Structure 1
């Protein structure tokens, strides 16, 4: 028996990690019986998944039960907590539970403490747009895994054009590999920016740029960026998660500033900013913002997340939220 809890806004890496587990644990011939994915939006859905996980696997291989988009580490009723505890006692050795969430677990609640005790917890978060060095390393790593050689300016091009979107990076690099293999006698020759520009759209944007446009109250620019993100198949929930992270960080920095805190390390710790040197830039970003409006913005983002998870029209609810957020940052 093994339990996993994967969380973060890099949905692609989470999905790929779960797929890797499936390949390792499940016999393909028995996959229909031993593999289950549940969109864990309610207690009943999660309890049904627990019951499935407690059943011994059929035939060869192990059983894997995936509870996707779970909120069990943010809120958990007493009845659901009791079912989780019961499941831990009866889970067969060859049965594995995987929980995935875009939201950081709340370490204060009992269910999270239980998961932290018994599950392998791993974070999969997108690299911030400002951390170009880390994004460049990500490009290098994925290019190596895909067998694509890149020049320095080729790497820089992809950092600017694609950013930290690991799903799109894989797709673009696979496309570039096909180009290289089919058009060059020496397929190992590194691809430069000029060659890459033939197939990769340089005008791509990411959710961090959308957050910046919203912070500046640029309604038209924000809606344009949103449209481009959606046209590039960016998941609405991932856009919402990135915006929530950014606004939460801005709120923490603003509140601490207003309280008179001047120690950048203390602000970085409270706001969960990995590099204290970034606090200076966050201070500049929140100068014109008001704490009460940032609090309202998080409420808007919570409603957005709920709407997306309930199946509302993705484009409509995102556009409405973006306009509301721009209105708050302008006042």
Structure 2
């Protein structure tokens, strides 16, 4: 079916998928005739895209109409829904309609239900920053795509350094590919440490400083992250993941659970060897402290999404979190 819906928070992965789809559909000599992208602020973008999709392709190849950052699966006026119902079943085989969005489609919306009858839906989620095993898999996949050989320790270091930022991952891989200049030797940890900035690890260090109630150290690490242009929402995502893991480990310890495998599964930790160290980290903390951290982090996330001053709100919430852990 020549209709696609790409959605998810991994913008870079969506961009790459769009390029692959575009190259598969379009003939390079006829791209200017058969390819149109409709931005979300364009009036009647959906109607215009549907009209384009109904127009037979010129010359060789197919036609692609792309609704960029579409809200069609979140809200759909009745007149647009009627046009969808009239158009989608009769789109020509060589014409393609693509919708992309960061937001999850609303399954209860009539437009979404109708699209699911004709469209292929594909999700592009960001890997949770605390799921180390999946991050390492993403690193190895990117290395294979770019043509860089890694050792297991190097892949783990890159996963710790870059986290779930797919765009940064591929940029760093390109840098490493240029550095090795066609060498078939795997990159060692020393080279990667020199070439790749370690931002995610610093965010985990920020979490550790908060956990010990060291306000000065936490603010210093935060300042370094901000100076390195680390996005505030990414800092919050890593902190939420870390405190969530600590909370579950502590809850299971309080419940008397001693089996590392059971704790691994309950806390969603990919490597059972981490459980001992996590237990040591939360040993002096209370469940209530960890529970109280999450609303503060949620308030921080909401404030950032609502456009609050990033530096100011991050500093305020880090101080509040540190004060929480100074109460033993």
Confirm or deny a common fold (TM above 0.5): yes
User: Contact 1:205/1:228 (CA < 8 Å) preserved in 2?
Assistant: no
Q: Secondary structure at the match of 2:228?
A: helix
State which drifts further: 142-151 or 216-225: 216-225
Q: Distance in 2 between matches of 1:134 and 1:301?
A: 27
User: Contact 1:205/1:229 (CA < 8 Å) preserved in 2?
Assistant: no
Could you tell me which residue of structure 1 aligns to residue 61 of structure 2? 61
Cα distance change of structure 1 residues 33 and 179 upon mapping to structure 2, 3 Å threshold:
same
User: Contact 1:300/1:324 (CA < 8 Å) preserved in 2?
Assistant: no
Q: Secondary structure at the match of 1:4?
A: strand
Unaligned runs of 5+ residues in structure 1 are 254-261, 263-274, 305-315
1:74 maps to 2:74 = yes
1:118 maps to 2:114 = no
User: Contact 2:7/2:122 (CA < 8 Å) preserved in 1?
Assistant: yes
Q: Distance in 2 between matches of 1:29 and 1:191?
A: 40
1:148 maps to 2:148 = yes
Could you tell me which residue of structure 1 aligns to residue 136 of structure 2? 136
Q: TM-score, normalised by structure 1?
A: 0.70
Q: Distance in 2 between matches of 1:52 and 1:211?
A: 50
Could you tell me which residue of structure 2 aligns to residue 200 of structure 1? 196
Runs of 4+ in 1 over 4 A off after TM superposition: 206-213, 215-224, 283-286, 293-302, 316-331
Q: Distance in 1 between matches of 2:6 and 2:202?
A: 21
1:288 maps to 2:292 = yes
User: Contact 1:210/1:226 (CA < 8 Å) preserved in 2?
Assistant: no
- Give per-residue Cα distances to partners, 1:183-223, cap 9 Å, x unaligned: xxxx211111102223212x32399869969x999777657
User: Contact 1:41/1:71 (CA < 8 Å) preserved in 2?
Assistant: no
User: Contact 2:300/2:314 (CA < 8 Å) preserved in 1?
Assistant: no
Cα offset, 1:17, TM superposition: 0.6
- Give per-residue Cα distances to partners, 1:55-89, cap 9 Å, x unaligned: 11111110111111111111222222222222314
Cα offset, 1:29, TM superposition: 0.5
State which drifts further: 134-143 or 169-178: 169-178
Q: Secondary structure at the match of 2:64?
A: strand
Q: Secondary structure at the match of 1:37?
A: strand
User: Contact 1:63/1:96 (CA < 8 Å) preserved in 2?
Assistant: yes
Cα offset, 1:133, TM superposition: 0.8
User: Contact 1:207/1:229 (CA < 8 Å) preserved in 2?
Assistant: no
Q: Secondary structure at the match of 2:71?
A: coil
Q: TM-score, normalised by structure 2?
A: 0.70
User: Contact 1:68/1:99 (CA < 8 Å) preserved in 2?
Assistant: yes
- Over the aligned positions, Cα root-mean-square deviation in angstroms equals 4.1
User: Contact 2:89/2:118 (CA < 8 Å) preserved in 1?
Assistant: no
Q: Secondary structure at the match of 1:92?
A: coil
Could you tell me which residue of structure 1 aligns to residue 186 of structure 2? 190
